[in-house]
């Protein structure tokens, strides 16, 4: 059972994590939710469309203008507090690699720290343990935050993913993070080229077999764009195809921009797999 905040999710329940970027330069929405009111409206819409987790980010993943820890806190902590006030039951995640940011957002009401850069600041797991919140343990191939991969190689990319993510997860639990609140993430695009991300998707079942809940962050990423030769705004179909494959292979949490479309894909796969009843069943029964 995955436990995050006030929520519990059985192993076969697919969970949507909706992205809310508190940045003026995010790669996908170009700052559409940088201001408070559009961001809060985005949260309301995402929850209505079926998101159980809201993932708040104060620094875009790619290269760009330097953002200090103080500025990242300014962009995220107050917003987390307001989301907590308005949506008491939603799981609030914050995408950060910095321990000082993790401390501030946990005090503001965050339930989960999404460490997308693979433990580059080992103190972040200590913050999660101290506050008894969840932690996402991601494979980033040793890359430094906000850098792009360059001629990165692996003897076996999935073997490296498993070694790193399981190691981070076990360390987190040893520090005191609740075991039922730890997830592992293959880190698509992070420290990887497109072929690495495709192989990570193809072999996702190996991560699921570890017993740790698997989170995938696939939404409109470059590996989808390169695979189909599509710009950012034309990657939805490729993202949904990758989502369906990931769901069939057993991933549980999906970090996404398009909530409603992802919800339909996950519900369909769950019904095919026999984990969900059809919403309506009239055909051939009348």
Q: Residue-wise over 100-109: b if at least 16 C-beta within 10 A, else e?
A: bbbbbbbebb
* Structure tokens given for 154: 């692996």
* N residues, the chain: 286
Catalytic (active site) residue 255: yes
Of residues 255, 263, 276, 283, which has the active-site annotation?
255
Residues whose CB falls within 8 Å of the CB of residue 182, separated by 6 or more in sequence, listed in order: 134, 135, 137, 169, 172, 173, 212, 213
Share in percent of the chain as helix, strand, coil (round to 5):
45, 15, 40
Of residues 60, 75, 98, 221, which has the active-site annotation?
221
Catalytic (active site) residue 202: no
First-to-last alpha carbon distance for the chain, in angstroms, is 38
Q: Is the dihedral of CA 251, 256, 258, 263 positive or negative?
A: positive
Residues whose CB falls within 8 Å of the CB of residue 65, separated by 6 or more in sequence, listed in order: 25
- Catalytic residues, which ones? 221, 255
């Amino acid at each position: 059972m995955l436990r995050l905040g006030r929520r519990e999710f059985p192993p076969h329940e697919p969970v949507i994590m909706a992205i809310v970027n508190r940045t003026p330069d995010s790669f996908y929405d170009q700052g559409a939710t940088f201001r408070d009111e559009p961001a809060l409206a985005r949260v309301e819409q995402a929850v209505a469309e079926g998101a159980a987790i809201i993932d708040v980010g104060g620094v875009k993943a790619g290269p760009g203008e330097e953002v200090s820890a103080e500025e990242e806190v300014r962009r995220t902590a107050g917003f987390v507090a307001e989301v907590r006030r308005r949506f008491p039951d939603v799981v609030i995640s914050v995408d950060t690699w910095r321990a000082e940011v993790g401390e501030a957002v946990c005090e503001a009401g965050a339930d989960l720290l999404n460490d997308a850069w693979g433990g580059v600041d080992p103190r972040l797991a200590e913050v999660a343990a101290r506050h008894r919140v969840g932690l996402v343990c991601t494979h980033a191939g040793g890359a430094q935050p906000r850098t792009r991969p360059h001629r990165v190689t692996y003897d076996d990319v999935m073997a490296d993913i498993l070694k790193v993510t399981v190691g981070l997860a076990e360390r987190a639990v040893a520090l005191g993070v609740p075991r039922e609140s730890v997830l592992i993430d293959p880190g698509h695009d992070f420290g990887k080229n497109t072929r690495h991300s495709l192989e990570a998707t193809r072999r996702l079942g190996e991560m699921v077999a570890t017993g740790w809940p698997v989170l995938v962050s696939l939404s409109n990423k470059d590996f989808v764009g390169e695979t189909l030769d599509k710009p950012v705004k034309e990657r939805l179909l490729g993202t949904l195809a990758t989502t369906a494959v990931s769901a069939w292979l057993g991933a549980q949490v999906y970090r996404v921009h398009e909530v409603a479309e992802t919800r339909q894909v996950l519900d369909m796969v769950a019904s095919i797999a026999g984990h969900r009843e059809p919403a309506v069943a009239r055909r051939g029964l009348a």
